Amino acid sequence: MGALADGLIVSAIGLIIDLANLEGLLSLELWLGSAIWLVWFAAIAKRGQTPGKQMLSTQVIRTDGSAASRKLMWAREVGYRAAVNVPVILVGQLYPGSTVSELVLAAIAIIVLADGIAIFFSPDRQTLHDRVFGTLVISIRPVRQTSAELRAL
């Protein structure tokens, strides 16, 4: 769910940049995108949370229960994003508008879908990239106690 919220946030930012009609200024779009990306990952590395995870009160930790280091958070996010985005960019540049591009995009979509669906087949509800990096997404919402439990205190 955090990834979905993050996707909506990033899509909104991308739409705003696109609506600004910066088509002729590719380098400006690239710089803006890079700046947003750096701010995004700085937030992730500091707290172990993307903005979407903050909204949903979830956090990334190591599978042993310890806090995820900044280095691990950067590796997890950059590794996942690179695995998804680099093939798309390369194929788009090498084979623009071709069937090869469409096949690669379809393959990437299947991989991203499989990554998300993996939570339903993992006892700890881990995505594939969580398994690769030894991380786990947990809820950090306070546990609500029933009135009977509170009276027992």
Please state the three-class secondary structure of the chain as a single string.
CHHHHHHHHHHHHHHHHHHCCCCCCHHHHHHHHHHHHHHHHHHHHHHCCCHHHHHCCEEEEECCCCECCHHHHHHHHHHHHHHHHHHHHHHHHHCCCCHHHHHHHHHHHHHHHHHHHHHHHCCCCCCHHHHHHCEEEEECCCCCCCHHHHHHC
Rounded Cα–Cα distance for residues 3 and 76 (Å):
13
Q: Give residue 109's pLDDT band: very low, low, confident or very high (50, 70, 90).
A: confident
Above 70 in pLDDT, residue 36?
Answer: yes
Which of the two residues, 113 and 42, has the higher pLDDT score? 113
Q: What are phi and psi of 102, to 5 degrees?
A: -65, -40
Q: Output the pLDDT for position 29.
A: 61
Which of the two residues, 69 and 54, has the higher pLDDT score? 69
Rounded Cα–Cα distance for residues 74 and 68 (Å):
10
| Residue among 135, 97, 129 at smallest CA distance from 114 | 129
Q: Output the pLDDT for position 6.
A: 63
Q: Output the pLDDT for position 38.
A: 72
Mean pLDDT of 12-22: 61
Q: How far is CA 56 from the centre of its chain?
A: 13
Q: Output the pLDDT for position 113.
A: 85
Does the global pTM surpass 0.85? no
Q: Output the pLDDT for position 64.
A: 95
Average pLDDT across the chain, whole number: 76
Q: Give residue 30's pLDDT band: very low, low, confident or very high (50, 70, 90).
A: low
> Which of 46-50, 81-85, 110-114, 127-131 bottoms out in mean pLDDT, i.e. has the lowest?
46-50
Q: Output the pLDDT for position 126.
A: 92
